[in-house]
């Protein structure tokens, strides 16, 4: 009898549930008879695997570049012939940032750019240095009339002094075109290595001897690091540093893409700008400034077009 009950139990399990397991409780005595109570445990024919947890991916956080304080930092660098040169670096409000390298004229040293530097830096910092001239007469030292730099724009600025040059009223003691060319070239290379600078977003701006230095330095930098210098703006250039201005503009135009070059001059000094229009540089633009004067003297209110606004337009075009 017991054997039959086991057989029936097994048959029911297999018939009702297919390939399942059938487990019985141990034999129990009920009164004088013995009874088997079947217990069914249904096991799925498919095995469900618990997915293993995904391995934890450890990523190294990318360090956030720290914005440098706005205070100008002194910089000493060396020209090719071993001459030590001095400058100041004004860090931008972002890191990395585009950089403007500014080159002064022969009547002054880097102090010509004290107010312009903090204006372009756009960090609400006042010029920490004493301007050597009367700002009411020499308006590049009077920031009250400067066009407003857009709130979302900020530029690193690097200024320096050409060899043999002193502040206003003394200026450069002798005309050293060969040495100044070396200085301009060294300055652009040094600027590219400054902390917080976007090494491929550099432009140069210069006045008079610095106008040629800006063009020459930009070309030199791109020969060393193609594409590093995005453009040059020159106030009254005239081939002062041994290289012909028009030939430099020609070479800048042969880059791919052509390097932007803007030339600003008063009517009595506009010929170099006019000649450069024939170089074939498709990124070249010239602006004749009626009632303008030489070099830095064009940085004053009341002119149309206004050179200070053209500087902002130039930066907006080249450093976007």
Shared domain check, 292 and 172: yes
Q: What is the pLDDT of residues 204-214, one digit of tens each?
A: 999 999 999 99
pLDDT of residue 27: 36
Distance CA 278, CA 67 (A): 43
Residue 24 lies in a domain: yes
pLDDT of residue 102: 99
pLDDT of residue 122: 98
pLDDT of residue 126: 97
Count of C-beta atoms within a 10 Å radius of residue 279: 19
pLDDT of residue 17: 39
Shared domain check, 249 and 180: yes
pLDDT of residue 54: 61
Domain that residue 22 falls in:
2-41
- 90-123 burial, b at 16+ Cβ within 10 Å, e below that, comes to bbbbbbebbbbbbbbbbbbbbbbbbbbbbbbbbe
What total of structural domains would you count in the chain? 2
pLDDT of residue 2: 37
pLDDT of residue 169: 87
Q: What is the pLDDT of residues 277-287, one digit of tens each?
A: 999 999 999 99
What is this structure's pTM?
Answer: 0.81
pLDDT of residue 141: 98
Residue 185 lies in a domain: yes
All residue ranges of the chain with pLDDT < 50 are 1-48
**CATH code of the domain covering residue 142:** 3.40.50.1820
Q: Which H or E run contains 248?
A: helix 245-253
């Amino acid at each position: 009898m017991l054997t039959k009950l086991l057989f029936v139990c097994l048959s029911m399990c297999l018939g009702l549930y297919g390939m399942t397991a059938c487990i019985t409780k141990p034999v129990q005595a009920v009164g004088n008879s013995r009874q088997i109570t079947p217990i069914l445990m249904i096991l799925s024919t498919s095995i469900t695997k618990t997915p293993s947890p995904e391995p934890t991916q450890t990523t190294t956080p990318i360090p956030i570049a720290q914005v440098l304080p706005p205070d100008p930092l002194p910089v000493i660098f060396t020209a090719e012939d071993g001459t030590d040169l001095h400058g100041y670096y004004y860090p931008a409000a972002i890191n990395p940032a585009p950089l403007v390298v500014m080159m002064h004229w022969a009547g002054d040293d880097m102090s010509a750019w004290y107010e312009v530097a903090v204006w372009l830096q756009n960090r609400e910092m006042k010029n920490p240095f004493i301007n050597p001239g009367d700002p009411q007469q020499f308006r590049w030292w009077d920031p009250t009339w400067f066009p407003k730099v857009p709130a979302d724009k900020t530029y690193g600025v690097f200024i320096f002094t050409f060899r043999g040059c002193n502040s206003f009223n003394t200026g450069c003691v002798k005309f050293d075109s060969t040495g100044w060319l070396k200085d301009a070239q060294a300055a652009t290379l040094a600027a590219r290595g400054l902390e917080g600078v976007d090494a491929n977003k550099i432009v140069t701006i210069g006045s008079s001897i610095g106008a040629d230095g800006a063009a020459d330095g930009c070309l030199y930098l791109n020969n060393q690091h193609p594409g590093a210098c995005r453009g040059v703006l020159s106030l009254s250039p005239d081939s002062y540093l041994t290289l012909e201005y028009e030939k430099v503009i020609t070479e800048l135009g042969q880059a791919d893409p052509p390097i932007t070059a803007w030339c600003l001059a008063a009517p009595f000094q506009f010929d170099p700008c006019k000649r450069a229009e024939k170089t074939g540089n498709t990124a070249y633009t010239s602006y004749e400034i009626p009632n303008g004067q030489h070099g830095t003297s064009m940085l004053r209110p009341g002119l149309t077009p206004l050179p200070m606004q053209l500087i902002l337009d130039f930066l907006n075009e080249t450093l976007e």
